[in-house]
Structure 1
Amino acid sequence: MGVCDSGWSIARRSTNLGAGMAFEDSGGWFLKTMVRKHRIASGATQQAIADELFYSPDTIRAWELGRATIPLKMLARYAKACGVNDEIIGYMVQVAIARREGKPVEADMRFNALFMSLAEEFFGSFFKFDATFIPGPLQLKEYHDLIVRPADPEASDDESKDGWVFKEARRIALEDRPDQPMMSFLIGEAALVHLRRFSEELYQKQMAYLRKWAKRPGVSIRILREPVPVRMSGFSIYQPEDMPRACPPFVYTEIADTSWCIDDPDRIARYDELRKRLWKMAIRIEVYRDDDRRDRMA
């Protein structure tokens, strides 16, 4: 267990696989869930995949349920048949090798983003805090283009465009969930102050969008006025909450060019205590007004 810099370790949780209790690790969950997601999106059946790979439908079913390990030599072909793109297949191979060798995954921010987006589709609850920016799934495209893009001058235009496409896909996946996960977003007031100084019109549009999101079932958004140390300025917590297709809980955090998915239960508990403390200090967006703050700054 544990965590490594820019890494992602393989946590385990008990799960009911239909024939008694078993243990599932995060790596295995990522592999089976990613291929199942893409297979369903492509419209292919388990029978069609089995025919293409010359395996039985029972084998494909066992791979999707996690009852059997996908052979490393078959992983790329299997994922390709299910509609997974080459980039994600490359990450899947890394995960499979790490599981076989019992080592942490040497992950980058892109992989961690893919892992989080998958968790957003299947976990029962998650909490996101950002002290300086509005969280990705809640951003308008104008906010992404005019506020987020200039903050990362090293990113190319293509990378910025791809980043927005990825955010849009995450938002759509959240909106399309048939269940009602508990989604909590904590936004630092500094993000709103900066936005309002940049453009009053965009500020009003973005705030209206946030309030619209806050009306969705299971969604809570709060604004934190108090400053926090840099080391606490952004993190996310993902909890399964008995969702059958979730993996073990984890925390995500990043600084500069390094990011972590932390699965250690003690560290998750400490982050959760911080979450509770910050959440209690924050203001519900439904009643948030910044007029008094602007008057004091005048």
Structure 2
Amino acid sequence: MSSLTQDPYADPRAFYGSELCRLREEAGFTQVALGELAFCSGSYIGQFEKAVRRPQLELSKLFDEILGSGKHLQRLCLLARASKVADYFADAADLERQATVLSEFSPMLVPGLLQTEAYARALIRAARRFDPQQTIDDIVSARMERTQLLDGPSAPVDWTIIHETALRLPTGGAAVMAEQLGHLAHLLRSRPNIVLQVMPFSAGPHPFLGCLVSLMQFSDAPPVLYTESAYNGWVIDEPTVVARYQSAYDLARAAALSPEASLDLIESAAKDWAKDGQHS
């Protein structure tokens, strides 16, 4: 994964990395030696120093203890972890921007990178019923910024599997659903880097029932896994666990409809929602 920046004053994460490097070198530790004391790899330390990975608070506490830096790195960590997205997703969002291939399974909903603004707003309002409107607007805006990841010549390959439930669940009303599914169809016809398959009801049980999964591959680092529940998420880089999820994803991909049949089903569902909207 390439460094986000080499300028320590460019953003809080870069400053955290430069301070970690300074304190480590002043203490006479190599990245590997510090990693051994902090129970992580030297390359992981390097990713923090190069501002590739967002700092972790628990590790920052360990670094402060080992390097005798009081709470310096912990305070910088809090600044560096500021994000427009939910804190539990922020690490995954950073990795997402660096991935060359994204493989996602969504059991109930259209994934965030493929959502329209109206669909995203309906989902976010349902999940945050008691939040003020400005909070909802900010979250929607951040999600729409994320969708730009799939634009341009350096965009990753995005291979998504959604369950047929996502095509049938009335989210925001018929007009919103018709627009969302029409948007999906347009993306699939116009963006060669986007591939989508639908897991039909007829496929029965599958490996990811009730579990959103995103597998990320990189040009210069091992793959990682992100999995999410309603109000929490986890980035996992343990190779055996990632490999097990990749195997399950391959099985799900084999059980899903082909991309061509999936597009036909999406366009058919979009027409059904459009008709429902006309009759409501």
- What TM-score range do you get, normalising by the shorter chain? 0.5 to 0.7
Matches within 5 A, 1:36-51: 36=5
Q: Which has the higher strand share?
A: 1
Does the aligned pair in 1 maintain the 2:211–2:229 contact within 8 Å? Answer: no
Deviations 1:79-134 (A, max 9, x none): xxxxxxxxx9xx647387167379xx999982342222222322110111111111
The answer to whether 1:288 aligns with 2:265 is yes
Does the aligned pair in 2 maintain the 1:129–1:186 contact within 8 Å? Answer: yes
Q: 1:222 to 1:157 in 2, by over 3 A?
A: same
Does the aligned pair in 2 maintain the 1:72–1:96 contact within 8 Å? Answer: no
* TM-score, scaled relative to structure 1: 0.59
Q: What is the RMSD computed on CA atoms of the aligned residues?
A: 3.8
Q: 1:117 to 1:99 in 2, by over 3 A?
A: farther
The answer to whether 1:211 aligns with 2:185 is yes
Q: 1:259 to 1:113 in 2, by over 3 A?
A: closer
Unaligned runs of 5+ in 1: 1-14, 16-28, 37-45, 54-62, 76-87
Once the two structures are TM-superposed, the CA of residue 221 in structure 1 deviates from its matched residue by 0.8
Q: 1:163 to 1:248 in 2, by over 3 A?
A: farther
The answer to whether 1:234 aligns with 2:234 is no
Deviations 1:32-64 (A, max 9, x none): 42xx2xxxxxxxxx7xx57x79xxxxxxxxx97
Q: Which residue of 2 aligns with 1:276?
A: 250
Unaligned runs of 5+ in 2: 24-50, 67-76, 273-280
Superposed structure 1 runs of 4+ greater than 6 Å apart: 105-109
Once the two structures are TM-superposed, the CA of residue 217 in structure 1 deviates from its matched residue by 1.8
Once the two structures are TM-superposed, the CA of residue 229 in structure 1 deviates from its matched residue by 7.1
Write the distance in 2 (CA, Å) between the matches of 1:263 and 1:166. Answer: 25
Write the distance in 1 (CA, Å) between the matches of 2:113 and 2:59. Answer: 29
Does the aligned pair in 1 maintain the 2:106–2:161 contact within 8 Å? Answer: yes
Q: Which residue of 2 aligns with 1:71?
A: 19
Identity %: 21
Matches within 5 A, 1:85-100: 92=55, 94=57, 97=60, 100=63
Write the distance in 2 (CA, Å) between the matches of 1:123 and 1:98. Answer: 29
Secondary structure of 1:184's counterpart equals: strand
The answer to whether 1:250 aligns with 2:224 is yes
